[in-house]
A and B are shown apart, each in its own frame.
Chain A
């Protein structure tokens, strides 16, 4: 559900449009009447719709939104995998990413059109969910970009000073070596499937 404020704004805009519908004939005769109609039928609905879309975009980046499709629920469970080597679990459980935007934090490119690309891919997912066939094994459209990891880790002290990172820092920054060469488990689906999960106290 979208925030109450958005729903109230939509109801108000709808009520104004409904009211003006019956008053169009007298209002259209005067200049101020036409201005009132312009505000009520054009400006208010357009503004409220813009606000709804903006809020909706924000809400569509939430973990609960991604997990609302059953295909993703196993991946949601993998966030709780009791495996300190599984990247998604480590990031989620240690709050390295915002828990309300866990999926989006790693699965949206931080490049200029990253958000738009993520939303377009989301459109494809919805299409496949309702009208296509969901593949048994879900995979990324392209290999995961280490640049997305470096977006947060690049200048983090813990990352720079980690002994295994030191000799390859240059290669990591240049993109000639990727994170997944060593960190091979992104989602521990086995642990998720076997319910070997970490329970927060």
Chain B
């Protein structure tokens, strides 16, 4: 059980890193808004945030499933 929690914590951390990377890309682009940074922001930053959110939700659902909530 403890090992399982660690795995979930690790996947949540991964989600936070991915979402943070997405925000970082957008932040870098926000300082110098050009066609290239706009595309980087929309095509790299935004999907990374989305992937981070999905990874986090998957980890949460995993915890809920383990605890029999779902």
B70 at the interface (CB under 8 A from A): no
> Which residues of chain B (3-58) have a CB below 8 Å from chain A?
5, 8-9, 12-13, 15-17, 19-20, 22-24, 26-27, 29-36, 38-39, 41-42, 45-46, 49-50, 52-53, 56-57
* A residues contacting the other copy or chain, number (CB 8 A): 39
Q: Which residues of B contact A52 (CB under 8 A)?
A: 26, 30, 41, 45
Q: In the complex, are the beta carbons of B22 and A41 less than 8 A apart?
A: no
Q: Which residues of B contact A10 (CB under 8 A)?
A: 23, 26-27, 30
A126 at the interface (CB under 8 A from B): yes
Picked from A46, A56, A69, the residue with its CB within 8 Å of the CB of B50 is: A46
Q: In the complex, are the beta carbons of B23 and A129 less than 8 A apart?
A: no
Say what secondary structure dominates the interface of chain B: helix
Q: In the complex, are the beta carbons of B49 and A2 less than 8 A apart?
A: no
Name the residue of chain A whose CB is nearest to the CB of B39.
A126
Bound complex: CA A123 to CA B36 (Å): 9
Bound complex: CA A56 to CA B27 (Å): 12
What are the interface flags for A37-51 relative to B under an 8 Å C-beta threshold, 1 for contact and 0 otherwise? 110011001101100
Bound complex: CA A35 to CA B21 (Å): 22
Name the residue of chain A whose CB is nearest to the CB of B17.
A21
Picked from B19, B22, B30, B45, the residue with its CB within 8 Å of the CB of A6 is: B30
A116 at the interface (CB under 8 A from B): no
The smallest beta-carbon distance between A174 and chain B, in angstroms, is 37
Name the interface size band of chain B. 35 or more
Given contacts A14-B20, A41-B19, A42-B56, contact A69 B35 (CB under 8 A): yes
Bound complex: CA A56 to CA B36 (Å): 12
Apart from A1-B31, A2-B33, A37-B12, what 15 extra A-B contacts exist at CB < 8 Å?
A1-B30, A10-B30, A17-B19, A21-B16, A24-B9, A24-B13, A24-B16, A34-B63, A38-B56, A45-B52, A53-B46, A56-B38, A65-B34, A65-B38, A69-B35
> Could you list 12 examples of A-B contacts with CB < 8 Å?
A10-B23, A24-B12, A38-B60, A41-B12, A42-B19, A42-B52, A53-B46, A60-B35, A60-B38, A68-B34, A69-B35, A122-B35
What 9 A-B pairs have minimum CB-CB distances, sorted nearest first?
A2-B30, A42-B53, A17-B20, A10-B27, A21-B16, A126-B35, A14-B23, A49-B49, A45-B19
